Amino acid sequence: MVKVLVVDDDQDLRDNLMEVLTENGFSPDSAENGEIALEKLQDDTFELVLLDSVMPGMDGLETLPLIKRTYPKTRIIMLTAFSTVNSAVEAMRNGADDYITKPFKIDELLVAIRRCLEEAKFGVCEEILNSDDMFKCLANATRRKVLLLLYRESKLRFMDLTRKLNIDDHTKVNFHLKSLKDAHLIEQDRRKNYQLSPKGKKIVSCMSSIASS
């Protein structure tokens, strides 16, 4: 169920939208200004926020960048009564994914919501397709072994790693380590110890969860 947060100071509009969204298979919640919206976003994960630009208290234009910075994957559609080209452009630049002017037809909004969520999916797709280095790296058994060794031992020097891998030619290990470094899966500290990067750590746990299925 897709969670949507409606942020508007007009209670009637909030109630109305909540009802329509529920009917259309969404799981909505609402907030009457920016502060409350941010609190709710902290407690729960929303895929989409419908954000009124003019509100008493913290308004939408102010809230927008705060939301986007903390929750970059959350989609935001701005709702506003005062439509000017400038404010629209400004909102889009600050990270709004779409922009609808009041009054709007409910179908218009639903279309925007669906397109917005659809694009979000595509976004994930793009990210995955572009992480080519990472997958190329994982394709090699030696390199996966290195990741696991570093996962278990936290830090290892070059020659220790080479010995643990049972590889006598150190230049071969070097080749693979370079490839892992280029893909940002491992990194070196000042003393040249090799260790997993945060990304590398994440991957090892993912690897085990996949392998054990």
Partner DNA sequence: CACAGTTGATAAGTTTTCTTCACAAAGAGA
Partner DNA sequence: TCTCTTTGTGAAGAAAACTTATCAACTGTG
Which residues of this chain interact with a copy of itself, rule CB under 8 A?
72-73, 121, 123-125, 127-132, 134-136, 138-141, 144-145, 148, 152, 198-199, 202-203, 206-213
In this structure, are residues 14 and 30 in contact, taking their beta carbons and an 8 Å threshold?
yes
In order of 83, 91, 92, 93, 102, the CA distances from 86 in angstroms are: 8, 8, 10, 10, 16
144 binds, among DNA, a copy of itself, none (CB under 5 to 8 A by kind): a copy of itself
Q: Determine if 139 is a binding residue for DNA (CB under 7 A).
A: yes
Binding mask 161-190 for DNA (x = CB under 7 A): --------xxxx-xxxxxx--------x--
Work out the number of other CB atoms within 10 angstroms of the CB of residue 196.
Answer: 22
Cα 119 from Cα 77, distance rounded (Å): 13
Q: Determine if 114 is a binding residue for DNA (CB under 7 A).
A: no
Q: Nearest-5° angle of CA 106, CA 107, CA 109? A: 65
Work out the number of other CB atoms within 10 angstroms of the CB of residue 148.
Answer: 14
Q: Determine if 134 is a binding residue for DNA (CB under 7 A).
A: no
Candidates 6-14, 19-27, 62-70, 133-141: pick the segment binding DNA (CB under 7 A).
133-141
What is the binding site for DNA (CB under 7 A)?
136, 139-140, 142, 157-160, 169-172, 174-179, 188, 192
